Structure 1
Amino acid sequence: MYPKEFIEYMVHFHGDRDYFECHEILEEYWKRKDPGNKESIWVGFIQLAVANYHHRRTNFIGAKRTLEKAISIFKSQPEAVTQAGLKYTLLLKELNDRLSEIEKRAPYVSMLLPIQDSILLDESKHLCRQKEVDWGRHSDLTNDALVHRHKLRDRTSVIAEREYAKKLKEGNDKM
């Protein structure tokens, strides 16, 4: 019923709190299923994970900006939020409360999304158990590999891709 990538997103979001991985998993899915649509519900979930990643790292500006984008997407698509198995009104309330906390520069606190569909909840919790991860545990703020994951990854392919795009652009500009 739900894409496996969304279930995996839920496991990372509510289990190991690996928001970076949430982003990676759902971005690949979005690029396959709804490429280029920046208002896709999947983009909203990606931005929500990124906002949590930034907030946990005390990047309040980045957290605020990405959470505002996520809220805008969710606000404009109540039916899609409900179809994704979440309680629309409660999600918006919790995200707006979170935004207010970010604006006050309050410390990061782990959150649970208001899942209303028992199938989504059961499948997500089941996958958590398979991965031996506790559902709903709090984020380990002392785990640098989790908190600062983007700084610790191998960026060789990303850098090479950017250089290639730059050379293509330079070639097109000469025409």
Structure 2
Amino acid sequence: MTFSKSYIAFLIHFHGDRDYFECHEVLEEHWKMNGMERDSIWVGLIQVAVSLYHYRRGNIKGSLKLINKALHLLSYKKDEVLALSIDYDHFISILNNSRVKIANHIPYSPINIPLNNQQLFAKCKKQCENRGYEWGNHYDKAPDYLVHKHILRNNPKPISKRQYVLV
């Protein structure tokens, strides 16, 4: 089974550096190039990433809104989720548990997407290691420039050239 470079990049950011903003960026570009259906599986995965982005920043209202949207969209995308080698039932359970934590203002902790394709898992894990990331860590030591990355979005410099200084 072959997976798009965008999906692999999403998984690496999601499980490696926990750059949820970049997860959104790579999948949004993929989504735009592949039909832009509003109920696309890509939209559901983007919503999950953005929900976690907001959750980590303490934006409970935004996080809860997006995880609810993601759960609704993914509720009728089981075959598409399975086609991405994601254990659908386990993933939905993880998202429901996260929704409860968010609603109860329990401090953020990262989640992992349960993959059931060993080749995909090994490829992503290896690419994470090559970049110096630990795949699927259960702690999140994200630097401020990742936690507050949206603040930098309107900066005219490319992300790779930006100074990550928060005011």
User: Structure 1-normalised TM-score?
Assistant: 0.84
Partner of 2:45: 45
Determine if the alignment matches structure 1 residue 98 to structure 2 residue 98.
yes
Any gaps of 5 or more consecutive residues in structure 1? Answer: 158-175
Q: Which residue is 1:3 aligned to? A: 4
- Name the amino acid aligned to 2:17: D
Spell out, residue by residue over 1:97-139, the C-alpha distance to the aligned partner (whole angstroms, 9 max, x if none). Answer: 1101111011100111111111221111121122121112222
What one-letter code is carried by the residue in structure 2 that aligns with 1:82?
L
Is the aligned partner of 1:62 residue 2:69? no
How many angstroms apart in 1 are the aligned matches of 2:93 and 2:78? 13
> Which residue does the alignment assign to 2:71?
71
2:85 aligned residue: 85
Aligned alpha-carbon RMSD (Å): 1.4
User: Rg larger in 1 or in 2?
Assistant: 1
Distance 1:42 1:7 in 2: 13
Question: Alpha-carbon deviations, 1:37-63, whole Å to 9, x = none?
Answer: 111000111010000000000100000
Matched, 1:109 2:74: no
Does the residue aligned with 2:106 lie in a helix, a strand or coil? coil
SS in 1 for 2:75: helix
Secondary structure at the counterpart of residue 134 of structure 1: coil
Aligned counterparts of 1:34 and 1:107: Cα–Cα separation in 2: 36
Equivalent-residue separation in structure 2 for 1:132 and 1:156 (angstroms): 28
Whichever residue aligns with residue 14 of structure 1, its letter is: H
How far residue 5 of structure 1 moved from its aligned partner, in angstroms, is 0.6
SS of the residue 1:116 aligns to: coil
Question: C-alpha displacement at 1:152, in angstroms?
Answer: 2.8
| CA–CA distance in structure 1, aligned partners of residues 76 and 153 of structure 2 | 34
| Distance in 2 between residues matched to 1:131 and 1:154, nearest whole Å | 26
Gaps of 5+ in 2: 158-167
Q: TM-score, normalised by structure 2?
A: 0.88
> Partners in 2 of 1:153 and 1:46 — Cα distance?
17
